[in-house]
Each structure stands twice: as structure tokens, then as C-alpha cells.
Structure 1
Amino acid sequence: MAQDTAQQTPAAPARALLPLLLPALAVGVGSSLVFLLVSRLAEELQRVLWQNLPDALGIGRYSVVWMLVVLTATGVLVGLVVWKAPGHAGPDPATLGLTAAPLRPAVLPGLLVAAMLMLAGGPSLGPESPVIMANAALAFWLGRRLLPRRPDTLWPVLAEAATIGALFGTPVAAALVLSEALTGRPMKGALWDNLFAPLAAGAAGATTTALVARPTFALGLPRSGHPRWTDLPAVLVIAPAAALLGLAAVYAFPYVHRAFARLGHPMLALPAGGLVLGLLGALGGPLTLFKGLSEVAELVRDPESRTAGQLAAMAVVKLAALLVAASCGFRGGRIFPSVFVGAALGLTAHALVPAVSLAPAVAAGVLGMLLAVTRQGWLSLLTAAILVSPPTVLALLCIASLPAWLLVTGRPQMQLSQDGRAIR
């Protein structure tokens, strides 16, 4: 045991990590700007589709007819892009998580157009999957040309970390996701040495997003204050209940995906999916449309205005919409709408039992739903936590940790081996 401790792999020296810092920061800033650009263009198109056009036509913005028209038309347009664009706008999103192999640059225009149409048109998916794929491809393509001596595997990891940091408003999310991915894999050096460059990229992405725009997860939930004894049994019920509902969708996912795949063509599957989503939107109301983050903020703004039955119905409809949108081929991720479903379940519990504190109930609902949908334990915990606490200070602390780590890495630890030598 002592020999194993003494012979453990030494930490990478600072001079090996320091050259990674500038590329990581550049990838972080660039990835955040791509995310912000896609989001801004999608928001402008959403305003045209859901405000300007119905107002000009004298149709209710969220009338049943308009929901059916816009969501079906979104399916037609995205289907056309998937059918005709080079590379068919990327791989089937049902097969993707938070990581992806770099795509050819020629595939990116179709992927980003399909993602922006989806975000603006109302399907219940988030931007994380297509934006991560786009940033990984751009970083890989540029990195190989500008810094050909760096390993090819570096660039997608930096882009993924940067995008996750930008999406969630904190680089801690990126570090936790990557540390979970590294579990069971052989590593050279200490864990923090392996996370140094990704953490720098994530910090740059999160800080750029915070400086240019309001942090994505600043939802305005009321502060929970000190926990109460009644909160413990409440969260122990809410989180497993949300996880069970999420698992129901997980088990249904391959069957729904197979049903849309039988249609055999994106110009059939996506319009059909859009029509179903329009019907679900008419059933659940406008808050069950779109990726879900702005809608969560509106949902919690006046939690007492809806009954437990209404909130539960919205959660079920939103989950069904997520299932359909992810199955029929819309380019998007599953995390953001899952946050809405979990929050609605937490609000349902609070409406049923007012003694249950609002913030812990919402956080527990989000935690259970994300655990079922993503199987990312750290990401689920962090997302649930930052819903009730601004993550800005975490980005600052991560940035502050970078120079400090450069000073300590590779130096002796305050621990000795059995022969009295300092362990490095």
C-alpha cells in the first residue's frame, strides 16, 4: 500500500498546463458567443412567429389554430433542412448525449438552422445538443489548423466544457460532467490536471455569457432560507416521484422513436411530430411550448395562481412533448425541458401540501427528473442547486482557482511516504 502511494503518477508540472490556457480561454469565449448568437437569432425569429405575425393577421398569439399552424410548419421547415442540407443537419438527436464526435464543417449550417427553427417554433427541446456539436466541430477544425501539435482529442473536450459552462452559467457544471465521464478511464496525472484546460474553457464560456447576457439559469426562484424539518421527508418523496415519471418517458422513448422512424422520411416524421406537438400545446397551454427556461420563470412567478391538478397536467403534457420532439427528429437537447417538468412537479407538491417549502420542492423535482433523463448525477445536483442560488460567484471562484493550481501542481503534498519523502 505504501509503495503504491509512493509510486502514484506525479502531477503534471505547471509548464505543461500553462500552454493550454490561452487555447482553452479562446475556445471558451468563442463557444459562448456561438451559443449567444444562436439564442439571439432564435429569440428574434420566435418574436416574429408568435407576436408580429399573429398580430398582423389578427389571430390570437397562442390560439389553438396558430399553435397547430406554427408547430406543423416548423416540422415542415426542419424536415426540409434535414432532408436537403449537407450531412442531413447532423446525426439523429435521439442517439446523442452531451458529447459528440466532431462533424464536418459543411454540416454545421444545416444543423444550426434546424436548431434555430426548432427553438423559435416551439418544440420542447433545448439548444444544448446542437450547440455542443457545432462548437466541437468548429474548435476541432480551427484547432487542428492553428495548433496542429496539440492532440486532436483536446478540442472537442474544450468545446464541450465551454458550451456546458455557457449553457448552465457555471464552469462547475462542465468540470463535474467531465469528471463523471473520466470515471473508470485511465488518466495521466491528477484529476485536476486533466480538468485544468476544460475548467478554463468552461469558466471563459460562463463568464462571457454572464457579461454579454443574463445568466441562463437565473430563474428568480424565491430563496429557501434555512431548511426545515418538514423539507426532508418532502424532498425524499418528490425526487423519487419525479424520477419515476421520468423513467416512464425513458422506457417509452424507443417505442415512440420507432413509430416516427416507420414514416421513413424526415418530411413525414417531422411535420407529423409538429402536428402532435401543436395538439399537446393546445392541451397544456403556451407555457408547455419552447425549451422551458423562460416558461419556468413565469410558472414560479405566481405559484399560487394554479391548482395542483393544473400544474400536474402541465408537467405530464410537457414530458409528452419532450418525448415526441426528441423522437421525431427535431435538433435539440432534453435537459432544459426536463427542468420545466421537474419544476412543475415540485410546484404540484407545494400546491398539494403548502407546508412543503417551494424552493426545495422545485429543486427536488428537477433533480429527480434530470437523474432519470440524463443519468448525470453531478449535473442533476448542480442544476437543482443553482435554480435557488445564483451561480455567478462559482464562475469567479473557478477562474481564481486556475492560477492557484498552476502554483501548486507538481509540488510536494503535505503528506509523506513511509520512507519519509514528500509525496508529489
Structure 2
Amino acid sequence: MSEETRGETAPTAEGVRDLLLSRSYQKLLLLSVLLGVPIAVACFFFVGLQHTLQHAVWESLPRALGLDRAPWWWPMPALLLAGLILAPIVTRMRGHGGHVPVNGLGGPPVGPAELPGAVLAALATLPLGVVLGPEAPLMAVGSGLALLAVRAARTAVDPRSSLVIGTAGSTAAIATILGGPLVAAVLVVEAAGLAGGQLVLLLLPCLVASGVGALVFTGFGAWTGLSIGGLALPSLPPDVNPDAGDFLWGLPLAVLVAVIVGAGHRLGRSTARWTARNTATRTVACAFAAGLCLTAYAVLTGRSPEEAALSGQATLGELAAHPHSWSVAALVALVACKGLAWGISLGSLRGGPIFPALLIGAAAAMACSALPGFGVTPALALGTAAAATTVSGLPLTSAILAVLLLGDDAYNQMPLIVLATVIAHLTTQFLQRRTHDQPAAD
């Protein structure tokens, strides 16, 4: 890119300084702070209601029927119901219930008109066992409420400011479950691909909105005592410094995780193309197919189908706390069955793509932790980092996310996490290039 072209597309340092100190930008920062509070409150009750419904479907209802836990066949009617609910939302409501999750977390902010469909799709289907996370619906809630507030204030806002406000609302929303404002802000910046002054102009409103939002969200959790299911691992295996064996085994396994998660993502793209026609019927068919995969996991392992269903947050915590309670065969079955269900859901249902990928990557790596010289904690670290990088395409965000997941144990695992994200990202780029080149070669 020439200097002349760069000057036309990016503001100068002096221009950025003038914008930062301008009255209109100061108002934008203040508005971002004010929006963080109601968005966090709305997200708190959104996530709390989702977890309440999830508990009712997978725990309370089976007990009411005299069952100790959800039986092996439970996912089939549950996912069929999810498909039947989602089909009219996708085909008839504005916004189609939110964006297709295989396309990632990007795209323009969801406006107020599309918000009801996205909220209804998430609350009515995710608790039934859809193998997707809550991050994309939360971002829709954040951006929709932010833009609705601006519209309600009847304030004239130019399109660029509306984009910043919507993005700040999305960041405030997703910060509530990603461990705080830092990883959410980095995600937005890395996904936007900005640099220099443009980065600062977008970053500051996102930081203040997500910081205030995360604070309010945490306070509400402590005050109400409701389960909000933040992305955190309450317990981890004993922390051990990675040694040569961990790196010798871990780096090839980062490639393996990238291949597995990438295969699920490609399945999602195929499913998305298939459901583009006869959408209602094929949405129901895909939901039922995902239920069959979850049922297969329960039949093959004799364990609860709930472990493979849903976003995987709870199962990831259990896997980290009790890694030896899963046999290698059970972990392989979890990767295969949940991976298939996740790939199908990516292209046909509604939700977020990242949370299930973390569990799939962690399970794949931990299935190999029985290898001589390879530890459980390094497997957990590299599995989550490599999976997040593969599904999001954002290596920096993925590394920070893995560090936050491991908490105090992350310090010793950082070198392995960083190398795993780099290797997984390069592997993903290589596979994508081969996929794109294949039709021309044929």
C-alpha cells in the first residue's frame, strides 16, 4: 500500500488526537459508559434465564419423570423440538434469529428490529441442547439494546458513530462471560483488523462499556446468587511446569486439534449451503441429526448425554476438575459425537461457535495426555488455545482467552499456549488454502 493511499484511508496522528479531544467523541465515551450498565443487567437476566431453562430441561424434568438423569434418548425429542421452534423464527422473523454461527462472531451489529428474533431463538432452543454457545446471542442483545437506546433518545447519530455504539454494546455484552473487558476488547480490535489511530478510536468506547458492564454483571451475580455460567474453570489439575515432553507431544497435538476443529467448521459450511434451500424442513432435520449424535455419545459411553449437549461450559469445568474420570474411549467419543453435532449446528441452528470448540479441543488433547511425558494441564492449555484459534481465526484473542481460563495456573503454561495458537493458526490457514485451491485443481 502506498503512502498516498494510506493517508486517504487512515487518519493522521494529529487528526486522531483532535478526534479524541473533540466534544462529540467525549459524548460518545460517556454514552458508552452509560450503556454498559443496562446492557450488563439485561445480559445478566438473559444468561440467568437460559441457565434456569437448561437446568429445568436436563435435570428437573428427568427427575420429575422418576429418572436419575437425562436418559440416552433424551436429546432426540429435545433437539427435534428445538428445530421445530427455530424453523419459523429463521424463515419468518426479521433477522432470521441471528446470523449463522459458522460465519463467526463478525458482521454488522444487530439492530433493534432483529433483536426479538435473536433473543427468542437463543432462549427457546439453546436450553434444549443445541450444541452452540451463548456468546453470539449476547452480542446481539448488546448491540440491539445500544442502538435502541440511541434511537429512543432521538439523537441524530452518523452511521460511523452508530457502528461504534453498536460494537461497544456487543463488547459490553460478551465481556460478561469472557472473563472481563480485556479479552472482549482485544477480540473486537483483532476481528476489525484495525491499526494505529483507528484502533484507538474504536477501542476506547468498547473498553469503557465492557468495563462498566462486567462490573455490574459481577455485582448482580454476587447479589442475587443466580448461576450465570461465566467461562471459568473452578478447579484444575495440579500445576506443573511444562517440560520437553509436553512440547514434543503438545505441538503436533496442536495441529491435530486444528484439523479436528477445522473439520467440524467445514461441516458447518456444508450444512449452511444445504439449509439455504427448503430452510424450514432442513433446519428441523439438522436439529434432529444433532440429537442423534448426542444420543450416540450416551449409548457408546453409558454416560449422560448432557455432557455432549449444550455449549460445553459445564462439561469443560468437570473435565478440568476430574480429568481421570473420563477414559480415553469416552474422550474420543465426546470429540467425535459432539464434534459432529457442533458441525451440524454451526450451519443450521443459532448460537455462538466458540464455547463448544473449546471443549472439543480440550477433550482431544486430554485424550492424548496418557502419552508418556505429556501432562494433563498442558493438554488442557494447548487444547483450548488451539481450538479457539481455529474456530475464531484470532490467535491473540485465543491466547488471552486460554490464559484467563487457566487462571493462576496460566503463568507456567503461557509458552505452550502461545506456540499452540501460532501452530493452530498456521495449520488452519494451510488447510483453508488447500480447500480453496482444490476446485481449481480439479
Cα distance change, pair 174–56 in 1 and its aligned pair in 2 (3 A): closer
Which of 308, 327, 333 aligns to 2:328? It is 308
Shift of 1:182: 4.2
Which of 68, 75, 81 aligns to 1:73? It is 81
- Output the amino acid matched with 1:85: M
TM, length-normalised to structure 2 = 0.78
Shift of 1:19: 3.4
Which of 386, 391, 398 aligns to 1:368? It is 386
Residue 126 of structure 2 contacts residue 132 of structure 2 at CA under 8 Å; is this kept in 1? yes
Residue 246 of structure 2 contacts residue 378 of structure 2 at CA under 8 Å; is this kept in 1? yes
- Output the amino acid matched with 1:164: I
Residue 97 of structure 2 contacts residue 121 of structure 2 at CA under 8 Å; is this kept in 1? yes
Match in the other structure for 2:287: 274
Match in the other structure for 2:148: 141
Cα distance change, pair 60–72 in 1 and its aligned pair in 2 (3 A): farther
Partner SS state of residue 100, structure 1:
coil
Which of 48, 52, 72 aligns to 1:40? It is 48
Cα root mean square deviation, aligned: 2.7
Residue 169 of structure 1 contacts residue 210 of structure 1 at CA under 8 Å; is this kept in 2? no
Match in the other structure for 2:232: 218
Name the count of aligned residue pairs: 379
Quick check: 1:296 aligned with 2:285? no
Shift of 1:67: 2.1
Partner SS state of residue 50, structure 2:
helix
Counterpart-to-counterpart distance in 1, 2:273 and 2:163: 33
After superposition, where does 1:193-232 map in structure 2 within 5 Å? 193-213=201-221, 216-220=230-234, 221-222=236-237, 224-232=239-247
Residue 100 of structure 1 contacts residue 133 of structure 1 at CA under 8 Å; is this kept in 2? no
Which of 149, 168, 176 aligns to 1:158? It is 168
Quick check: 1:356 aligned with 2:369? no
Cα distance change, pair 190–373 in 1 and its aligned pair in 2 (3 A): closer
Aligned-residue identity in percent: 27
Cα distance change, pair 122–237 in 1 and its aligned pair in 2 (3 A): same
Match in the other structure for 1:249: 264
- Output the amino acid matched with 1:327: G
Greater alpha carbon shift after TM alignment, 60-69 vs 130-139 = 60-69
Counterpart-to-counterpart distance in 1, 2:115 and 2:358: 27
Counterpart-to-counterpart distance in 1, 2:180 and 2:372: 32
Which entry has the higher C-alpha Rg, 1 or 2? 1
Greater alpha carbon shift after TM alignment, 10-19 vs 130-139 = 10-19
Quick check: 1:237 aligned with 2:242? no
Quick check: 1:119 aligned with 2:133? no
Cα distance change, pair 195–102 in 1 and its aligned pair in 2 (3 A): closer
TM, length-normalised to structure 1 = 0.81
- Residues 70-111 of structure 1: per-residue CA shift (max 9 Å, x gap): 1211211222333443443244444x4223324442432222
After superposition, where does 1:324-403 map in structure 2 within 5 Å? 324-328=344-348, 330-350=349-369, 352-353=370-371, 355-389=373-407
Residue 258 of structure 2 contacts residue 386 of structure 2 at CA under 8 Å; is this kept in 1? yes
Residue 335 of structure 2 contacts residue 360 of structure 2 at CA under 8 Å; is this kept in 1? yes
Quick check: 1:98 aligned with 2:108? no
